[in-house]
Amino acid sequence: EAGVAQSPRYKIIEKRQSVAFWCNPISGHATLYWYQQILGQGPKLLIQFQNNGVVDDSQLPKDRFSAERLKGVDSTLKIQPAKLEDSAVYLCASSPRRGGPLHFGNGTRLTVT
Amino acid sequence: EDKVVQSPLSLVVHEGDTVTLNCSYEVTNFRSLLWYKQEKKAPTFLFMLTSSGIEKKSGRLSSILDKKELSSILNITATQTGDSAIYLCAVEAGTASKLTFGTGTRLQVTL
């Protein structure tokens, strides 16, 4: 089975610019997650979708971050405007249902200068 | 707020040694505890432990869940250089089955 696809792999932007990341989960997986992993830390959940509805976005900085999952398949995560502290790896993961092992993509490494 | 703490933060051992990694948690409505291995890229799944499956083993890796102590250990015997990675513990909790990760333990296995 094809894994979770993410793009781009790397992105370098200046602070106050905007950026968008894309994720294509494993086919048939209803649940999709975006995690932020800052160097030296564990992944932090930003948002969790069940099909195209939001289950949890309590840790998403909504003044600058937004995410959508149209049609319950692909998802995009946007940051506008970016801050230096947004430098991190953004991991997308999916699972067939809520809970259980997640399948992670290779992530997008964002550097904000 | 759900909390997952791992120890030690980092560890250097020699090939052939046995290591034990620790994970403790404070969550509301525990559902499961998962261990992942993260090398340069995406975390890869190792084990999932629940109330009905508190012990798992795969080759040289094994893990036990202690629901009374709210903790888990991951054991790796006869370590190899290929075991060098960050080991992440995550706990699934709540009606949303939210997965909260610990900071991870960085393991380095030297020759």
pLDDT (tens digit per residue) in B42-70: 899 999 999 877 899 999 999 999 989 99
Whether B111 shows a pLDDT value over 90: the answer reads: yes
Would the CB atoms of A99 and B44 count as touching at under 8 Å? no
CA distances from B62 to A78, B34, B55, B57 (A): 39, 12, 7, 4
Whole-number pLDDT of residue A72: 82
Neighbour order of strands in the sheet with B55-58: B3-7, B19-26, B71-76, B61-66, B55-58
Would the CB atoms of B98 and A56 count as touching at under 8 Å? yes
User: Do residues B70 and B61 touch, judged by C-beta distance below 8 A?
Assistant: no
Better-predicted residue by pLDDT, B72 or B40: B72
Would the CB atoms of B32 and A45 count as touching at under 8 Å? no
Would the CB atoms of B43 and A43 count as touching at under 8 Å? yes
Chain B residues with beta carbon closer than 8 angstroms to that of A100: 32, 48, 92, 97
Chain B residues with beta carbon closer than 8 angstroms to that of A30: none
Whole-number pLDDT of residue B58: 93
Whole-number pLDDT of residue B41: 79
Whole-number pLDDT of residue A99: 79
| Tens-digit pLDDT profile for residues B69-89 | 999 999 999 999 999 999 999
Quote the mean pLDDT of chain B: 94
Closest-CA residue of chain B to A99: B97
| Tens-digit pLDDT profile for residues A10-51 | 999 999 999 999 999 999 999 999 999 999 899 999 999 999
